[in-house]
């Protein structure tokens, strides 16, 4: 397993990380522990979760993922692991989380204390804002609509509270998720101007059918030393090819149709077929090729794996040993030009 420095932090994270949003919904507590044991035994040192997990989010299961991790984490050598979690922002509603979450002092304090209690740890290595407190287009929406602007907690105020959490020893580093180039730049600017902790990472979607990070975000993250944590590297299972061979295949797309809207685009099936063809010609599974591709990106800090079956997780982790040839990478670029970002 390769280890990479995450942004400007002192964190050395495995190139593949364990995402956990299925724990507590599609995976039982024992399933979760089996995945965690396997991942750690095979070189993964980075575990990512969130207070709102599992997905699909609902009041009946909220916080369950962190609790499942906590019953495992409490038995581990804590300083050997890098644990990340997130505070839910207001973009999705979720009125069952503190009556609709915000990124202010009251919510940040309550959220971190709740996460630490459930995770059975005194600190998290990375604390992330899950969605901006302000309006931003997301989850398949690509156009900024100024009429959707709303009152928001100032970024400087958010950073001041996060700085207090760092000073208190509850948080080692801070990061963002589902952010825009302006948001990353403004968080960095405010931190520099006020002498507050700087963000070290941004967790956004990145996969063969959504490479939008490569434009504005890649530039700003390069100049500010912010690392990418790429989620949905298999596009909710689409890049495994299973929904091409069986449109009703078991998975998040069929279990939770609302979460599949960002993939319900006309160019998704033909793009997937092309990537499947390239993988077959190279003697690889489509999932292995997709993960190996994401790992080649110069801006990638760590790729967040999400699996429901242990066998699937094993295949995903094995992709760490695969190096794509120049020919395969050129074929991928050809398809990308033909079907650019069909599922942003």
pLDDT in tens, 243-295: 999 888 888 888 887 777 888 899 999 999 999 999 999 999 999 999 999 99
Residue 92: pLDDT band (50, 70, 90) is confident
Residue 141: pLDDT band (50, 70, 90) is confident
Mean pLDDT of the chain: 96
CA pair distance 321, 337, nearest whole angstrom? 27
CB neighbour class for 243 (10 Å; exposed up to 12, middle 13-18, buried from 19): buried
Task: Give whole-number Cα distances, 253 to 14, 258, 263, 303, 322, in Å.
Answer: 28, 8, 9, 20, 27
206-217: pLDDT as tens digits: 999 999 999 999
pLDDT at residue 121 greater than cutoff 80: yes
pLDDT at residue 324 greater than cutoff 90: yes
> What percent of the chain is modeled with pLDDT above 70?
100
Q: Report whether 290 contacts 241 (CB < 8 A).
A: no
Closest Cα partner for 126 from 72, 162, 88? 162
H or E stretch covering 58:
none
pLDDT at residue 138 greater than cutoff 90: no
pLDDT at residue 79 greater than cutoff 80: yes
> What percent of the chain is modeled with pLDDT above 90?
91
pLDDT at residue 142 greater than cutoff 90: no
Q: Which active-site residues does the annotation give? A: 53
The confidence score (pLDDT) of residue 251 equals 85
214-231: pLDDT as tens digits: 999 999 999 999 999 999
- Write out the DSSP string of 101-140: --SSHHHHHHHHHHHHHHHT-S-EEEEEESS-SS----TT
The predicted model scores a pTM of: 0.96
The confidence score (pLDDT) of residue 253 equals 85
Q: Among 70-84, 133-147, 187-201, where is mean pLDDT lowest?
A: 133-147
Residue 10: pLDDT band (50, 70, 90) is very high
- Cα 153–65–301 angle (5° rounding)? 70
The confidence score (pLDDT) of residue 69 equals 98
The confidence score (pLDDT) of residue 101 equals 96
More confident residue, 161 or 142: 161
The confidence score (pLDDT) of residue 260 equals 75
**H-only helix segments in the chain:** 29-41, 64-73, 105-119, 155-167, 181-194, 216-224, 242-245, 252-255, 268-281, 286-295, 310-318, 326-338
Question: What end-to-end distance do the CA atoms of the chain give, in Å?
Answer: 29
244-258: pLDDT as tens digits: 998 888 888 888 877
pLDDT at residue 72 greater than cutoff 90: yes
- Cα 321–35–123 angle (5° rounding)? 100
**Looking only at Cα atoms, what is the longest distance across the chain?**
55
Q: What is the mean predicted confidence (pLDDT) over 301-312?
A: 96
Q: What is the mean predicted confidence (pLDDT) over 336-344?
A: 96
CATH top class, domain 3-237+287-323: alpha beta
14-49: pLDDT as tens digits: 999 999 999 999 999 999 999 999 999 999 999 999
3-state secondary structure of 236: coil
Spatial CB neighbours of 98, under 8 Å, sequence gap ≥ 6: 106, 107, 110, 111
């Amino acid at each position: 397993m390769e280890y990479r420095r995450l942004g400007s932090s002192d964190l050395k994270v495995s190139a593949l990380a364990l995402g956990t949003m299925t724990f507590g919904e599609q995976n039982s507590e024992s399933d979760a522990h089996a995945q965690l044991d396997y991942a750690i035994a095979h070189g993964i040192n980075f575990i990512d979760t969130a207070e709102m997990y599992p997905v699909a989010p609902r009041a009946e299961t909220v916080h369950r993922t962190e609790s499942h991790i906590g019953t495992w984490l409490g038995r581990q050598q804590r300083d050997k692991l890098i644990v990340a979690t997130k505070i839910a922002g207001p973009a999705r509603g979720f009125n069952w989380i503190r009556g609709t979450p915000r990124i202010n002092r009251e919510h940040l304090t309550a959220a971190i204390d709740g996460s630490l209690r459930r995770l059975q740890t005194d600190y998290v290595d990375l604390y992330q804002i899950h969605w901006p407190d302000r309006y931003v287009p997301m989850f398949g929406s690509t156009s900024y609509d100024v009429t959707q602007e709303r009152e928001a907690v100032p970024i400087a105020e958010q950073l001041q509270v996060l700085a207090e959490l760092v000073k208190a020893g509850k948080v080692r580093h801070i990061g963002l998720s589902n952010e825009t180039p302006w948001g990353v730049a403004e968080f960095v600017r405010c931190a520099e101007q006020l002498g507050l902790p700087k963000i070290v990472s941004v967790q956004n979607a990145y996969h063969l059918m959504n490479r939008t990070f490569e434009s504005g975000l890649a530039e700003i993250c390069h100049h500010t030393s912010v690392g990418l944590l790429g989620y949905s590297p298999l596009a909710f299972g689409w890049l495994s090819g299973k929904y091409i061979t069986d449109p009703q295949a078991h998975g998040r797309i069929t279990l939770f149709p609302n979460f599949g809207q960002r993939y319900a685009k006309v160019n998704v099936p033909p793009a997937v077929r092309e990537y499947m063809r390239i993988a077959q010609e190279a003697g690889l599974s489509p999932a292995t090729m997709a993960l190996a591709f994401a790992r080649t990106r110069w801006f990638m800090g760590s790729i967040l794996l999400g699996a429901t079956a242990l066998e699937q997780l094993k295949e995903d982790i094995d992709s760490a040993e695969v190096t794509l040839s120049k020919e395969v990478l050129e074929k991928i670029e050809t398809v990308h030009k033909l079907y650019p970002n069909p599922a942003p």
